Every structure is written in C-alpha cells, then in structure tokens.
C-alpha cells in the first residue's frame, strides 16, 4: 500500500454528482481551486455511450447557471431542449384526460424553468471538463474497497493498493454508498413498489417544447421534450405491471405505450432501448461525519415525479463548495467540523422538504380513489386560475427560490 500525496478533497464516485462536485471544488468555477482527487470504479467514458443510461434529466434554471459558472453549459446547450410549456392532466389510461394545469412562457418571466438533456450528454460534457482541469486527479477503474475516517485526514483505500488521503472525503458513490456505510450513517425510507420505465420515442409531429405529466391511476406518465422530434418518457407502473411490460417484445410494448401516449404527436416509434428503475425514497440520517460529506444519491433518493434528484445533488455540491471555501479562505481546515456543520444545516431542510413533497405527490396521484381524485383536481384547478400562483410554482421549479449557493447564482464558488 502506498499513499501518493494529500489532497484537499477526495471524491468517491464520478457519476453526474461526483463530476459536478469535482468541478465545483477544483474547476474554473472556483476562485481558489482546491486540489481534488476523483475516484471511480468504472470508466466514465463507458457511461457516455448510448444505451448505458437511457434517462434524461430536467435541468433547472439554477442548475444551468451553475453549469455556466463552471464552464460546461456551452457543451450541454446543443443537447438541451427548453421546456416552454408544461401540461398536467389527471385521467384514465384509455379514458378522458382533462388538462388541469397549463404553464406557458407567460408564467416563466426569467426564461424556461428547466431544460431536458439526455444523461449521456450531461456525463460527456462534465467528463470532458473534468479531464481538462490540471487541479483534478482523475483515477478511473479504481474501486474504493475501504474507507478510514478516524485520523486527521480521510483515507480511501483502492483495490490497486493505493491510498488516497484528503482533508475531506466527499461521498458521491450513489444510493448504496459504501462511504456512508463505513461512517455508520443510517438511512430512513421505503420502496414504492413501483418502477420507472424509461425510454426515448420519436414522433412525426413537433412537441413545441411542451412537457406533459399525465397522472394515470398506476402513477405518472411523463412525456418530456428532447431536441428534434424526440421525447423522453418516464412511465411509472406498479412493480408487477412494470415487469410484465419490460418482458414484452418491442411491438407489444409499443402498443401499450401508444395507449398512454395518445396520438397528438402523430406516429410514434421507439428510438432507444427501454430500462426500468426501481423507485424508492430514502434519506441519510446525517449528511456528514468526521472528514466526510455525503451528496447526491448517496445522501438522498427521491421519486422522479418532479425530476429533482440530480438537481438536489447539484445544490449539495454548490452548498458544500461554499461551506468548505469559506473555511479554506480563512486559513482554516476545509474538512473540519465548522464546514461540515454549515453544510449539514444548509442542506438538511431542503432535502427533507423535497423528499416529503415528491412522496406526497406520488401518493396523492398514484391511485384512482374517487374522493382523492376530487380533492386533487379541485386543488389543481384553483392553481390553474391564479396566475401569480403559477408564476410562484414556476420559480420553485426553476430552483431559484430560497438561499442559493454562489454557483447557482452564476457566480464562482
Ligand atoms: C427514472 C428516473 C428519472 C430521473 N429523472 C431525473 C430528472 O429529470 N432530473 C433530475 O434532477 N434527476 C432525475 N433523476 C435522478 C438522477 O438520475 C439521480 O439522482 C442521479 O443520476 C444520481 O447521480 P449520482 O452521481 O449521485 O449517483 P450515481 O449515478 O449512482 O453514481 C455513483 C458513482 O459512484 C461509483 N462508485 C460507487 N461505489 C464506488 C466505490 N466503492 N469505488 C469507486 N466508485 C464507486 C459508481 O461507479 C458511479 O459512477 C431520475 C432518476 C430516475 C430513477
């Protein structure tokens, strides 16, 4: 075993959140870049290939500002489709679907609240940006097999025999985070017994930048606009039904898809392989431990109903950068208790609120109980009639409310 050097920050996991965090600490979006090590067991180049992660993400206006500040938005922009309109319906798979809510450009005075981007393009842009930064040492193809948080520095023991030491370890190693487990941080949460089936379709007609969320009895069916005549689908079903749909051949699967999709965009074709993601909610009971900060899916996993999971992780990265840089610029320990407490205080409430809101929405809409349908439809029709309320919701959806970290205001950390 040998230890190369001591880094300021060692990030375990180079998924979307780990890559973004590396740039927030060591990239051009930081006025005094830190020395960062980024470790992942897989080669991120693999993850940028079509079919590896078929998901697309709704990137909020605040996240766009962060990407601009970190110098990656120019590479993402050609693949981003602005959401010009959002339509919400509540109905049956085959029956009528009254449109209950419509958000248009008039409710988004500071531009589109969000942009749809395929994850592979996000990963590719972040990956290339990280590789261009000399301050970031990128160790790919290295699994961290053991963590140590007991000394004056965190240590990541790699399967290659190397030890990466740093003043702070950032766990961006996903929902089964080994770093979180090594620190003894417990989680609370539950599985929804639902899967999110994800695929991309092409259609003859233009979507005009309209995102559609159809609340069907088994769960939300979202049609999300991508550049060109393409849409990304997030189709929530009970686990058993999702298994049945996934087992169908393409023709039968497409027939089921068309029942839910409708005919308003003309002929529809499958444009990518389908994938199913088991859905659940969990939150780490603490976001920090000595020499450790959790972010992204390692800290929280929420229902994709509002497309907020990655955006929450970006907020984590930006807030952690502010907390750490505040200490570093005072000449204090960037991985010490003050920075970690500031991060914990800042992110805990937002995380719990988003988890509770997405959980509540999913429970309220994933059923066909008449009384609940009445209440939710009445609530939505009230919102539909009040323009200032709609503008408020769009501001929330754009991620522009609350105390924003510097990167999310477009300023460097
Ligand atoms: C169906 C669906 C739709 C979604 N839609 C949206 C959306 O529209 N908008 C949005 O904001 N979010 C969305 N999300 C959520 C979002 O996709 C996730 O929150 C995000 O991808 C999580 O990224 P991450 O980097 O935290 O974790 P991961 O992507 O899981 O990355 C973890 C990384 O850590 C590495 N790793 C793990 N353990 C080790 C180890 N021991 N050693 C070395 N490396 C390790 C892994 O190889 C991996 O690269 C959606 C989620 C689902 C399921």
Q: pLDDT higher for 362 or 314?
A: 314
Looking at residue 332, its pLDDT comes to 94
CA distance 386 to 322: 37
Alpha helices for 268-386 (secondary structure H): 309-329, 337-365, 370-385
Looking at residue 257, its pLDDT comes to 96
The reported pTM is 0.93
In angstroms, what is the span from residue 316 Cα to ligand 1's centroid?
A: 14
Looking at residue 401, its pLDDT comes to 83
Low-confidence winner among 19-28, 215-224, 246-255, 259-268 (lowest mean pLDDT): 215-224
Domain span including residue 147: 2-409
CA distance to 33, 257, 320, 326, 333, per residue, from 330 (Å): 15, 57, 16, 7, 9
Do 89 and 212 touch, CB atoms closer than 8 A?
yes
> Looking at residue 193, which CATH number applies to its domain?
3.50.50.60
Instruction: Give me the number of domains the chain comprises.
Output: 1
Looking at residue 96, its pLDDT comes to 64
In angstroms, what is the span from residue 363 Cα to ligand 1's centroid?
A: 23
> Which residue of 11, 12, 13, 276 sits with most ligand 1 atoms within 8 Å of its CB, as the best mutation to test the pocket?
13
pLDDT digits (tens, 9 = 90+) for 331-367: 999 999 999 999 999 999 889 888 888 887 777 777 7
The number of the ligand 1 atom at minimal distance from the alpha carbon of 295 is 26
Do 321 and 407 touch, CB atoms closer than 8 A?
yes
pLDDT of residue 1 exceeding 60:
no
Confidence band for 100, pLDDT divided at 50, 70 and 90: confident
Does the beta carbon of 297 sit less than 6 angstroms from any atom of ligand 1?
A: yes
For range 256-273, the mean pLDDT: 94
CA distance 406 to 413: 6
Name every residue whose Cβ is closer than 8 Å to that of residue 389 and which is 6 or more positions away in sequence. Answer: 382, 383
Looking at residue 43, its pLDDT comes to 84
In angstroms, what is the span from residue 101 Cα to ligand 1's centroid?
A: 30
Does the beta carbon of 310 sit less than 6 angstroms from any atom of ligand 1?
A: yes
Does the beta carbon of 114 sit less than 6 angstroms from any atom of ligand 1?
A: no
In angstroms, what is the span from residue 114 Cα to ligand 1's centroid?
A: 19
The number of the ligand 1 atom at minimal distance from the alpha carbon of 18 is 25
Tell me which residue has its CA closest to atom 3 in ligand 1: 304
Q: Averaging pLDDT over each range in 87-101, 297-311, 351-365, which range is the top one?
A: 297-311
Does the beta carbon of 194 sit less than 6 angstroms from any atom of ligand 1?
A: no
In angstroms, what is the span from residue 330 Cα to ligand 1's centroid?
A: 33
Confidence band for 394, pLDDT divided at 50, 70 and 90: confident
Looking at residue 365, its pLDDT comes to 75
pLDDT of residue 2 exceeding 80:
no
Which of these, 48, 34, 18, 39, lies nearest to 134 by C-alpha position? Answer: 34
> What share of the chain has pLDDT > 90, as a percent?
70
The H or E element that residue 45 is part of is helix 44-47
Q: Exposure string (b/e) for 117-140, b if CB count within 10 Å is 16 or more?
A: bbbbbbbbbbbebbeebebbbbbb
Q: pLDDT higher for 191 or 377?
A: 191
Confidence band for 149, pLDDT divided at 50, 70 and 90: very high
Looking at residue 4, its pLDDT comes to 63
pLDDT digits (tens, 9 = 90+) for 164-182: 999 999 999 999 999 999 9
Do 124 and 117 touch, CB atoms closer than 8 A?
no
pLDDT digits (tens, 9 = 90+) for 192-222: 999 999 999 999 999 999 999 898 888 889 9
In angstroms, what is the span from residue 407 Cα to ligand 1's centroid?
A: 21
In angstroms, what is the span from residue 304 Cα to ligand 1's centroid?
A: 12
Does the beta carbon of 157 sit less than 6 angstroms from any atom of ligand 1?
A: no
- The DSSP letter of residue 296 is G
């Amino acid at each position: 075993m040998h230890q190369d050097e001591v880094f300021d920050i060692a990030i375990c996991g180079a998924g979307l959140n780990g890559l973004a965090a590396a740039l927030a600490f060591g990239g051009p979006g930081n006025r005094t870049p830190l020395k960062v090590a980024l470790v992942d067991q897989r080669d991120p180049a693999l993850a940028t290939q079509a079919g590896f992660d078929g998901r697309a993400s709704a990137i909020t206006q605040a996240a766009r500002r962060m990407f601009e500040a970190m110098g990656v938005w120019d590479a993402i922009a050609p693949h981003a489709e602005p959401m010009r309109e959002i339509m919400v319906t509540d109905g049956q798979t085959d029956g009528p679907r009254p449109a209950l809510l419509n958000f248009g450009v008039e409710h988004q005075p500071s531009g589109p609240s969000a942009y749809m981007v395929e994850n592979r393009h996000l990963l590719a842009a972040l990956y290339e940006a990280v590789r261009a930064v000399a301050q970031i040492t990128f160790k790919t193809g290295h699994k961290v097999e053991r963590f140590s948080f007991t000394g004056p520095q965190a240590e990541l023991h790699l399967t290659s025999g190397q030890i990466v030491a740093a003043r702070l370890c950032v766990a961006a190693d996903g929902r089964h985070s080994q770093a979180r487990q090594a620190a003894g941080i417990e989680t609370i949460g539950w599985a929804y017994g639902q899967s999110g089936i994800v695929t991309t379709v092409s259609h003859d007609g233009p979507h005009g930048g309209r995102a559609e969320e159809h609340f069907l009895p088994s769960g939300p069916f979202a049609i999300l606009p991508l550049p060109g005549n393409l849409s990304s689908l997030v189709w929530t079903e009970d686990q058993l039904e999702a298994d049945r749909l996934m087992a169908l051949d393409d023709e039968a699967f497409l027939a089921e898809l068309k029942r839910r999709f409708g005919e308003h965009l003309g002929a529809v074709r499958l444009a990518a392989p389908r994938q199913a993601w088991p859905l659940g909610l969990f939150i780490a009971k603490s976001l920090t431990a000595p020499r450790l900060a959790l972010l992204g899916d390692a800290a929280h996993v929420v229902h994709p109903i509002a497309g907020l999971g990655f955006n929450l992780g970006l907020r984590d990265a930006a807030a952690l950068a502010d907390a750490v840089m505040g200490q570093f610029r005072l000449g204090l320990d960037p991985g010490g208790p003050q920075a970690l407490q500031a991060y914990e205080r800042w992110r805990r409430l937002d995380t719990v609120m988003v988890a509770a809101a997405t959980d509540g929405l999913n429970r309220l809409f994933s059923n066909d109980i008449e009384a609940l349908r009445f209440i939710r439809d009445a609530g939505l029709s009230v919102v539909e009639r009040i323009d200032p309320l709609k503008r408020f919701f769009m501001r929330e959806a754009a991620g522009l409310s609350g105390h924003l970290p510097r990167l999310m205001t477009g300023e460097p950390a």
